[in-house]
């Protein structure tokens, strides 16, 4: 069930972006391996069997409750059921309105047909070995699924606080579960649907991705007093809200600057073939030019004006010349890497992040 998904489910996940002709395309013919999975309620079974299971559970629950409380008034039970049903309908209506508004905004801002379908649960894609791009982690159970199914060792969340609040997600239990499961949790927030913001945070996000993939964290970074060594390289889960803009854009930048791709178009096509999405390519090209072609002051890499993720920042960064940043030599890649590592060392990435992951046993032992 981990490697296959029903056709109807894949069409539902991709929404209007899925086209029947895609089923005839073989990723192997491009030298690629397609691996997209959803860990929502329909990942292990078809939608019909899942719904049947859900109804069966409801039926058994109703039978159990009625048998255990036979002395309760039928009218009271009916009133309670109506109240629960009304609350469920209201919650569904709120979520549906939030989804429709979000997708309408995304289509207008991103100029692409892709949609976010939160009701299907986690939907993610392995881009390169150990690098996953997907939808937001909304619960501790999502953390457990990613650890158990994929061996996740680190998370990079590119959402802002307002994005999390919009979807009613409580990050505290999510971060706590990451800590319990030995997962490093890192936030690199960027403004949703904003090419300027993606341009500004791409270098920091690429540094975080590289550190996560290499397991290159300092021993404790002065945060928890531990003397444990750096975590081993593992699987990194990079997400924003829908996994269609900010997080795939950051991974494309990481592949372009730290991977084997010499052309931006190749890195972009590689990711978007595996995971249909529409991150702003011009933002990545501009970020490449910022790191490589812009003047440096006092020996420090130039900082884009949108590096602070301010929604009200109206300042416009200069537009790179035509063809600037579209192709890189190995020497230019090394210049970019040096600039990124100098600007964003591990201590800079980890500053203000949750304490590094600990095993539950050692947390219990330290508390005695």
Among 302, 280, 278, 279, CA closest to 289: 302
Helix (H, G, I), strand (E, B) or coil at 253: helix
Planar angle of CA 125, 127, 128, nearest 5 degrees: 135
Rounded to a whole number of angstroms, the distance between the first and last alpha carbons of the chain is 42
Backbone torsions φ then ψ of 93, nearest 5 degrees: -65, -40
243: left (phi over 0), alpha (psi -120 to 50) or beta: left
The residues that are catalytic are: 240
Distance CA 245, CA 195 (A): 9
Q: Are 205 and 258 in contact (CB under 8 A)?
A: no
Write out the H or E segment, with its range, that includes residue 134: strand 131-134
């Amino acid at each position: 069930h981990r490697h296959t998904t029903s056709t109807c489910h894949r069409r539902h996940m991709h929404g209007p972006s899925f086209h029947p002709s895609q089923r005839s395309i073989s990723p192997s013919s491009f030298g690629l391996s397609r691996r997209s999975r959803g860990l929502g309620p329909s990942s292990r079974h078809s939608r019909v069997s899942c719904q049947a299971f859900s109804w069966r559970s409801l039926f058994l629950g109703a039978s159990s409750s009625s048998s255990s409380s036979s002395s309760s008034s039928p009218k009271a039970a009916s009133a309670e059921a109506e109240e629960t049903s009304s609350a469920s309908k209201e919650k569904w209506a709120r979520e549906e309105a939030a989804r429709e508004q979000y997708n309408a905004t995304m289509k207008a801002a991103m100029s692409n047909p892709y949609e976010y379908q939160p009701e299907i649960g986690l939907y993610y894609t392995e881009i390169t070995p150990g690098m996953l791009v997907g939808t937001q982690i909304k619960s501790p159970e999502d953390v457990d699924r990613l650890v158990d199914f994929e061996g996740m060792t680190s998370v990079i969340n590119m959402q802002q606080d307002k994005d999390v609040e919009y979807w009613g997600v409580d990050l505290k239990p999510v971060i706590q579960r990451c800590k319990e499961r030995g997962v490093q949790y890192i936030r690199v927030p960027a403004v949703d649907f904003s090419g300027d913001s993606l341009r500004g945070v791409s270098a920091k996000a690429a540094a975080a991705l590289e550190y996560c993939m290499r397991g290159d964290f300092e021993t404790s970074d002065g945060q928890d007093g531990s003397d444990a060594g750096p975590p081993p390289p593992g699987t990194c889960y990079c997400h924003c809200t829908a996994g269609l803009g900010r997080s795939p854009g950051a991974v494309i930048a990481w592949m372009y600057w730290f991977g084997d791709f010499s052309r931006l178009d190749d890195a972009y096509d590689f990711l978007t073939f595996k995971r249909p999405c529409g991150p702003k390519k011009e933002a990545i090209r501009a970020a490449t030019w910022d790191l490589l072609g812009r003047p440096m002051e006092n020996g420090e890499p130039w900082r884009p004006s949108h590096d602070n993720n301010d929604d009200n920042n109206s300042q416009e960064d200069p537009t790179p010349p035509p063809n600037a940043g579209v192709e890189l030599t190995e020497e230019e890649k090394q210049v970019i890497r040096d600039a990124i590592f100098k600007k964003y060392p591990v201590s800079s990435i980890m500053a203000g992040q949750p304490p590094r992951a600990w095993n539950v046993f050692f947390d219990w032992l330290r508390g005695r």
